[in-house]
Structure 1
């Protein structure tokens, strides 16, 4: 029964994704942290993203209803110029890279996305936007690696890049141990010029 329910729902969020070369630039800066802190659960580089709205578990039919209005929203928005900058941690357990660049535009986009989702009857916990890219998580009994890795990456300043697509992402938590994997359900290019 639980497997049937899981097949009918999907964990969903709406996000932006840095381009591969910007992610690789950050991964290069993280090389020594990967070696120094192997006990951290490092997110896969292909899964790095900037969450605009985390919607949680949704019926697949609801996800399908969100796709046309999200495509329309993206078509009317201009690309954002962003950068990966600095580092920090949440509760000494989650290591993240900060976001720089057009933060006003990023907050505006997140607000529009959240308003659209609510207008289509999807209830979700609307937390304040804290723009970041999650890099790794610590086990409860060993958080020192996150703090040290954040300190080592605090001066990182990546190149500026353009966020050109809005992504509707599903997460696959698997049915057992192992990393979280994400996949695009759909994505749409930003088409606006203003």
Structure 2
């Protein structure tokens, strides 16, 4: 009998991470929503991020070629100034916080990141960038939770911060029961840029 082996894969995305104090500021604003909607699947604060490019499941061997290209890109760019602002929902299930600040520059960065990924020969679904942090998912049968939690964030306006690093991130989504966890595969500091 011929043995069938499957190549190891990893779920990968490229992102920015707000600094801890900006995330803690948003976490404090979410306290009433945490209390009102404990059954929502809340993302861990340490996992909050702004996705620039979602690459999906990749063979593990596809990841190393990304590293030098992303390092070069980060070194050539200055940090982007952003803030967390308001909230909303996707499909009445996914709660998110919006972004403000240098959004045009964020879109340029995302375009450059996506071009770098394609230069490495990696195909992915190149969807339009909608800058946000995913905070939680409502459970099926509780569609009002995300709507109510989003409404509670309407007036939220966080402090401005700089995205200091570009992160190549792996996740365990779809790898069994339990909470979602993200881990930096590697990250690179932004340089001076132009």
Q: Same fold (TM over 0.5)?
A: yes
CA distance in 2 between partners of 1:180 and 1:125 (Å): 21
CA distance in 2 between partners of 1:189 and 1:60 (Å): 23
Matches within 5 A, 1:68-107: 68-107=68-107
The secondary structure found in structure 2 opposite 1:147 is: helix
Normalized against structure 1, the TM-score is what? 0.95
Which residue in 1 is equivalent to 2:62?
Answer: 62
Normalized against structure 2, the TM-score is what? 0.95
Give deviations 1:135-157, integer Å, cap 9, x for gaps.
Answer: 00011211101000000111100
Shift of 1:33: 0.4
Which residue in 1 is equivalent to 2:32?
Answer: 32
CA distance in 1 between partners of 2:49 and 2:6 (Å): 27
Q: Alpha carbons of 1:87 and 1:68: their partners in 2 closer, same or farther (altered >3 Å)?
A: same
Contact 2:75 2:193 in 1 (8 A): no
Which residue in 2 is equivalent to 1:136?
Answer: 136
CA distance in 1 between partners of 2:175 and 2:121 (Å): 29
The secondary structure found in structure 2 opposite 1:64 is: coil
The secondary structure found in structure 2 opposite 1:112 is: helix
Which residue in 1 is equivalent to 2:158?
Answer: 158
The secondary structure found in structure 2 opposite 1:81 is: strand
- The runs of at least 4 consecutive aligned structure 1 residues that moved more than 3 Å come to none
Shift of 1:175: 3.9
Shift of 1:174: 6.4
Which residue in 1 is equivalent to 2:49?
Answer: 49
Shift of 1:71: 0.2
RMSD (CA atoms):
1.5
CA distance in 2 between partners of 1:171 and 1:108 (Å): 25
Shift of 1:180: 0.6
The secondary structure found in structure 1 opposite 2:121 is: coil
May I ask how many residue pairs the two structures share in their alignment? 192
CA distance in 2 between partners of 1:193 and 1:11 (Å): 29
Structure 1, unaligned stretches of length 5 or more?
none
